[in-house]
Structure 1
């Protein structure tokens, strides 16, 4: 399906304009493109450029979840993922998949809490933020296009489908994302090495988004961070054994960071007041990055 055909479909759902501009309210504003060279090791809660090698988790820029606004230096997509690196680096590739997954988990849980508009937008947003940029990479890895699953689910929310129906659609998206992740580029690094850095990327994003959420009364930054936290928890649970076998200290640091984030993101609804310990979160995030650095 061509971009033009998809855009016509989205326009009928009222999504065409926002997807073209990247202005969906379900996610924070992208950061300004940067010409700086990526750091050798990502800094905790940093505003540096995104991951470009398997040695470092992707960093988050500024207030938003994005690494680069649009196509930045080195071909970074809006979601803070180096598209060029994704062709050969499984950490970058799987981090892109994880960003899409974070939106889906947040959307599902927001829908369950009655936040239908936010849920619909969160289901649709990964298409413009990550999947368009990653499309040629997915093609190179033999992954069939699955973006319609996202836009169809967004439309289903507006069509007043039930929680069970939305959950079933969400499960289909998660299955497609897992299938895409399996086709990540080959590497001589261990499964534990790759998995730990994908989890660390999500932790770093969740940590940065919590600080951003504290600076505004908007719901969206909190919901973004909630999705990143949920994805980090999910991926760590699935891969804890191999991560621990590869780096026991790294696994322990990840668990401490997830514990700190669990208090900051108790539900998909933004707490009032927000009482997460930002210092503890930042310290835990730093420990994860340090234990995984080489």
Structure 2
């Protein structure tokens, strides 16, 4: 399906304009902080995405919702994913999928809490933020286009579908994302090595969004962070044994970071006042990165 055909379909759903202008409120760009982490290894503030063998997880470079500083040099897309690296690096490839998954989990849970506008936006946003840029990478890996699942779910939110129907749509998207992840580029690194770095990327994003949410009363930064936390939790649960076998220190650091984030993101609804300790979350985030620097 061509870009023009997709845009025409989205326009009929009322999504075309916002996708093209970037006006969806489902994702935000938080302010960065240069004092978040105590060491250069743990400092996710570079403009470029480092190699998978570098000190940081390969998918982490820069702060913000993207975890990679947003659109920039080196073929990075709006979602902060180094598209060029995604062709060969399974960490970057799977982290891009993680960004899309985070939006979907957040959308499903926001819908369950009655936040329909936010849910509809969160379902649609990955198309413009990640999937457009990743489309040639997916094609190279033999992954069929599945963006209609996202836009269909977004439209369904506003058409009055029930929670069960939305859940079914979500499950279909998650299955498509899992199938795409299974076709990640080949690597000599272990499953635990790759999985730990993908989880670390998601933890870093959730940590950054918590800081951003504290600086505004808007709902979206919190919901973004919630999605990244829930996806990190989900991916760690699926790959805990492999991560533990590859790097027990990383597995323990991830557990501590997820516990800290669980206090910051108790539900899909933003707490008032915000919960979670920023220092604890930042230190836990840094410890995860440090364990992966060896």
TM over 0.5, shorter chain: yes
- Checking the alignment, whether the CA contact within 8 Å between 2:63 and 2:205 is kept in structure 1 is no
- Checking the alignment, whether the CA contact within 8 Å between 2:27 and 2:221 is kept in structure 1 is yes
CA distance in structure 2 between the partners assigned to 1:290 and 1:62 by the alignment: 17
- The answer for the alignment partner of 2:37 in structure 1 is none
Q: Deviation of residue 283 (structure 1)?
A: 0.4
Q: CA RMSD in A?
A: 1.7
- Checking the alignment, whether the CA contact within 8 Å between 1:60 and 1:208 is kept in structure 2 is no
CA distance in structure 2 between the partners assigned to 1:128 and 1:207 by the alignment: 23
CA distance in structure 2 between the partners assigned to 1:165 and 1:280 by the alignment: 38
Q: Deviation of residue 63 (structure 1)?
A: 4.7
Q: Deviation of residue 80 (structure 1)?
A: 1.0
Corresponding position: 1:113 with 2:113? yes
- The answer for the alignment partner of 2:66 in structure 1 is 65
SS in 1 for 2:189: coil
Corresponding position: 1:49 with 2:50? no
Q: Deviation of residue 43 (structure 1)?
A: 3.3
CA distance in structure 2 between the partners assigned to 1:21 and 1:263 by the alignment: 35
CA distance in structure 2 between the partners assigned to 1:181 and 1:218 by the alignment: 32
Q: Deviation of residue 215 (structure 1)?
A: 0.3
- Checking the alignment, whether the CA contact within 8 Å between 1:49 and 1:80 is kept in structure 2 is no
SS in 1 for 2:228: helix
- The answer for the alignment partner of 1:102 in structure 2 is 102
CA distance in structure 1 between the partners assigned to 2:63 and 2:246 by the alignment: 32
Q: Deviation of residue 84 (structure 1)?
A: 0.2
CA distance in structure 1 between the partners assigned to 2:63 and 2:231 by the alignment: 21
- Checking the alignment, whether the CA contact within 8 Å between 2:30 and 2:221 is kept in structure 1 is no
CA distance in structure 2 between the partners assigned to 1:252 and 1:222 by the alignment: 25
- Checking the alignment, whether the CA contact within 8 Å between 1:260 and 1:281 is kept in structure 2 is yes
- Checking the alignment, whether the CA contact within 8 Å between 2:265 and 2:275 is kept in structure 1 is no
- Checking the alignment, whether the CA contact within 8 Å between 1:30 and 1:68 is kept in structure 2 is no
Alignment of 1:59-208 (within 5 A): 59=60, 61-65=62-66, 67-70=68-71, 72-208=72-208
Corresponding position: 1:261 with 2:261? yes
* TM-score, scaled to structure 1: 0.93
Alignment gaps of 5+ in structure 1: 33-40
- CA-to-aligned-CA distance 1:93-119 (integer Å, 9 cap, x gap): 000000000000000000000000000
- Checking the alignment, whether the CA contact within 8 Å between 1:59 and 1:80 is kept in structure 2 is no
- CA-to-aligned-CA distance 1:26-70 (integer Å, 9 cap, x gap): 1104899xxxxxxxx7634x3323534223323364554363444
- The answer for the alignment partner of 1:24 in structure 2 is 24
Classify 1:242/1:139 alpha carbon distance in 2 versus 1 (closer, same or farther; 3 Å): same
For structure 1, which segment, 2-11 or 256-265, has the greater mean C-alpha deviation from structure 2 after superposition? Answer: 2-11
- The answer for the alignment partner of 2:11 in structure 1 is 11
CA distance in structure 2 between the partners assigned to 1:42 and 1:144 by the alignment: 37
Classify 1:237/1:158 alpha carbon distance in 2 versus 1 (closer, same or farther; 3 Å): same
SS in 2 for 1:93: helix
CA distance in structure 2 between the partners assigned to 1:110 and 1:61 by the alignment: 27
